[in-house]
Amino acid sequence: MPTLSDLGHLPKRLVLGRAVPSDRLGESLLPKRYALPIFASDPLSSVAYATQEILIVLTLAGTAVLYLAPWLAVGVVLLLGTVVLSYRQVVHAYPSGGGDYEVAMKNHGQFAALVVASALLVDYVLTVAVSVSAGTDNIISAFPSLDEHRVLIAVGLVALLAAANLRGLRESGKAFAAPTYLFITGIGIMIVTGLIRWWFSDEGLVSETAGYSITPEPEHTNMAGLALLFFALRAFASGCTALTGVEAIANGVPAFKPPKSRNAATTLALMGGVAASMFAGVTALALLSDVKYVEHPCDLEGFANCGTEPQRTVIAQIAAAVFGGDTSIGFFGIQAATALVLILAANTAFNGFPLLGSVLAQDRFMPRQLHTRGDKLVFSNGILLLAGFAILLIVAFDADVSRLIQLYIIGVFTSFSIGQWGMVRHWNREMRATSDVAVRRGMRRSQIINTVGGTLTTTVLVIIVVTKFTHGAWLVLVAMPILFVLMRSINKHYSHVSDQLVPDSDSRMLPSKVHAVVLVSKVHKPTLRALAFARATRPDALTALTVNVDDAETRQLQLDWDKFDIPVPLTVVESPYREITRPVVDFVKNIRRGSPRELVVVFVPQYVVGHWWENVLHNQSALRLRARLQFQPGVMITTVPWQLESSVGRDVGDGPAPGDLRRGMTDDADVTPYG
């Protein structure tokens, strides 16, 4: 028969399922077919908005500079390939799962490692907020009437993602595999179909916005020279959102099945090839179908309902052009797959953030609770922390992708850059340690790859900071130092505590005497039990202590004390201001002052209640006393619990409940003895 404790855990079990024992940790490791959708859903899904972000910037100048889009896309693809190659070196060299953080710690030191950690933590939160908001956008593109519920939909989706991840890694892998593969297949079919239609059809490929013109922003007209270069770099920086999530595989190597490094490197290569192909294909179709997408919908000349209707996303416009309108099965299929994979792309962060948090907690830069696995062998506290911060961002920015995207990718390119230069140092050190020519040749090749990667990612980081700073990126540049200082402070605290706890000669010295103090409010069963327990410890001195806050009640207590012939004298301390806590603390201090080596053990009777509201009615004095006494040196506090009936789950007639014997209730007519 279920107990009250079992019923209390029922909602948790309904959401998370049964707890998993620690010896099954190996069963939660991922094969490549599940690792790809779990760790690569973010960079794969970014094709749904990376092209769109390039167009948003370029259309600020109308249609005059759209000719730059193919060249910017080529630059993004080359950068993606370089970063993927660079991270393949990382997963082989550092398979423990620390990724850029571990690379920075071992090659640059603590300062650089904490910069990387703060950058990645911020970027993981933004990954969830941006991916879920972009997924919500695609849902709204298919069903525009849902626009007014944008924030509520996004928050609900984050909560669902958190619950799915709390169920366990393998379970979330199975749940997320199908949508990711469906998206890859759907985008592949759309690209092939669109190219065939453009090449062979007489009508070609025409989007719903192809006939619209764009009103350029006044400051972006007639650009040339450095102004045009800066503008192009800003568009390129926006397109670099296609690279987010690449580092998650390097952080998640421990989650792979053996051989871990090789499987992670293979998954990285697959992810890079698929993501680059999809991004190039979507960009090509957007340009061939003449898609228009602007920052302010009313800049589209021809969009009649710009003030009341949301723009359709670039993916939605391409799908409608390829499959024959916004009522076709292909259109809804692409929208459903895109929305799903964008929402599930946040899963990259739900796996990366807790793993990184666990590593940081192990190194004492984060609270130790982040290092503890939950019931389902996942880092539950990290998952909940990530979900909470992502929801805060979604609510603060109204789930608006255009506003959130300005905060994006600074963190990830910071970690890219520091990590790649750390790998260059790593290979230098490794080459000095070996004289084998073949091995050194391989290390030199890896070092060249990381040098190119570090140069490119550092250049892009500078571009991103310069071009996005005034558009909201400054918030990230403020958040990262705050996180940095917080982690340093946590580390200093743990180190200081550790130093204080080192055993010394005083720690092994026995107290000269033990003085037990039992707090008394009335002569009742809890008091008598506390006295019995105190006597059982055989202290050198025993004091039953009460505080006189009411003369009549104190006189009655003394009469009851004599009536029950209690073999311990009752000590009364006066309290002219009707306080209880201060006189007790002063009494204990006086004992310690007279004998500094004497140990004082304070026994505090306390009710154990079954309902939250009963705590309001009981135990307040005990809580205040414990809170004050715990700061006194040489004082121990022993709580003596007394279970009230409400704390014991039982039905009348089912026999005595636990604690009935202690409460003297076994003779009650309503209680049937066991046996």
pLDDT reported for residue 5: 43
Torsion of CA 63, 66, 67, 69, to 10 degrees: 180
Query: What's phi and psi for 429, nearest 5 deg?
Result: -65, -40
What average pLDDT does the chain have? 81
CA distance 214 to 294: 8
Q: Where are the alpha helices (DSSP H) in 433-473?
A: 437-468
CA distance 76 to 280: 9
Query: What integer is the mean pLDDT of 109-118?
Result: 91
Query: What's phi and psi for 327, nearest 5 deg?
Result: -115, 5
Query: What integer is the mean pLDDT of 56-61?
Result: 86
Query: What integer is the mean pLDDT of 264-274?
Result: 91
pLDDT reported for residue 619: 59
pLDDT reported for residue 326: 80
Query: What's phi and psi for 602, nearest 5 deg?
Result: -100, 120
Q: How confident is the model at residue 186 (pLDDT cuts 50, 70, 90)?
A: very high
Domains for the chain: give ranges and CATH numbers: 4-494 (1.20.1740.10), 506-643 (3.40.50.620)
**Sign, CA torsion 449/450/451/457:** positive
pLDDT reported for residue 518: 93
CA distance 92 to 32: 16
- pLDDT of 356-404, one tens digit each? 888 888 888 888 877 766 555 567 788 889 999 999 999 998 888 777 8
Tokens of 546: 């009460």
Give percent of the chain above pLDDT 90.
Answer: 24
515 burial type by CB count under 10 A (0-12 exposed, 13-18 middle, 19+ buried):
buried
Q: What's 256's DSSP letter?
A: B
- pLDDT of 230-263, one tens digit each? 888 888 888 888 887 787 787 778 778 888 888 8
Report yes or no: 209 and 73 within 8 Å, Cβ to Cβ.
no
pLDDT reported for residue 618: 64
What residues pair up with 547 in beta bridges, in sequence order?
573
3-class SS string, 609-659: CCCHHHHHHCCHHHHHHHHHHCCCCCEEEEEEEEECHHHCCCCCCCCCCCC
More confident residue, 620 or 636: 636
pLDDT reported for residue 671: 34
Is the pLDDT confidence value at 2 over 60? no
Indicate the pairing of strand 300-301 with strand 213-214. antiparallel
CA distance 526 to 532: 10
The Cα-based distances of 385 to 64, 100, 490, 667 in angstroms read 45, 21, 17, 51
Q: What is the pTM (predicted TM-score) of this model?
A: 0.71
What residues pair up with 639 in beta bridges, in sequence order?
604
Tell me the longest C-alpha to C-alpha distance in the chain. 109
Is the pLDDT confidence value at 193 over 90? yes
- pLDDT of 661-675, one tens digit each? 444 444 443 333 333
Report yes or no: 143 and 332 within 8 Å, Cβ to Cβ.
no
- pLDDT of 560-581, one tens digit each? 898 888 889 999 999 887 788 8
Query: What integer is the mean pLDDT of 537-546?
Result: 92
Query: What's phi and psi for 103, nearest 5 deg?
Result: -60, -45
CA distance 481 to 476: 9
pLDDT reported for residue 368: 81
Indicate the pairing of strand 541-548 with strand 213-214. unpaired
pLDDT reported for residue 373: 66
Nearest to 459 by CA among 660, 240, 227: 240
pLDDT reported for residue 651: 44
Is the pLDDT confidence value at 23 over 80? no
Nearest to 628 by CA among 585, 593, 669, 594: 585
**Sign, CA torsion 515/520/526/529:** positive
Is the pLDDT confidence value at 86 over 80? yes
DSSP, collapsed to helix, strand or coil, labels residue 264 as: helix
pLDDT reported for residue 508: 61
pLDDT reported for residue 505: 61
Sheet holding 570-574, edge to edge: 570-574, 541-548, 514-519, 599-608, 635-643
Tokens of 607: 């009710």
Indicate the pairing of strand 300-301 with strand 599-608. unpaired
Is the pLDDT confidence value at 196 over 80? yes
More confident residue, 660 or 549: 549
CB neighbours of residue 150 within 10 Å: 19
What residues pair up with 637 in beta bridges, in sequence order?
602
Tokens of 156: 């609900």
CA distance 58 to 303: 19
pLDDT reported for residue 278: 92
| Chain centre distance of CA 269 | 27
Rg (CA), the chain: 33
CA distance 435 to 83: 29
Query: By 3-state DSSP, what share of the chain in percent is helix, strand and coil, each rounded to 5?
Result: 65, 5, 25
DSSP, collapsed to helix, strand or coil, labels residue 529 as: helix
Is the pLDDT confidence value at 654 over 50? no
- pLDDT of 399-423, one tens digit each? 887 778 777 778 888 988 999 999 9
Q: How confident is the model at residue 28 (pLDDT cuts 50, 70, 90)?
A: low
pLDDT reported for residue 670: 36
The contacts of residue 145 (CB under 8 Å, 6+ apart) are: none
Query: What's phi and psi for 12, nearest 5 deg?
Result: -65, -45
- The H or E element spanning position 486 is helix 474-500
Is the pLDDT confidence value at 10 over 50? no
CB neighbours of residue 259 within 10 Å: 11
Torsion of CA 200, 202, 207, 209, to 10 degrees: 150
pLDDT reported for residue 645: 75
Q: How confident is the model at residue 153 (pLDDT cuts 50, 70, 90)?
A: very high
3-class SS string, 352-417: HHHHHHHHHHHCCCCCHHHHCCCCCCCCHHHHHHHHHHHHHHHHHCCCCHHHHHHHCCHHHHHHHH
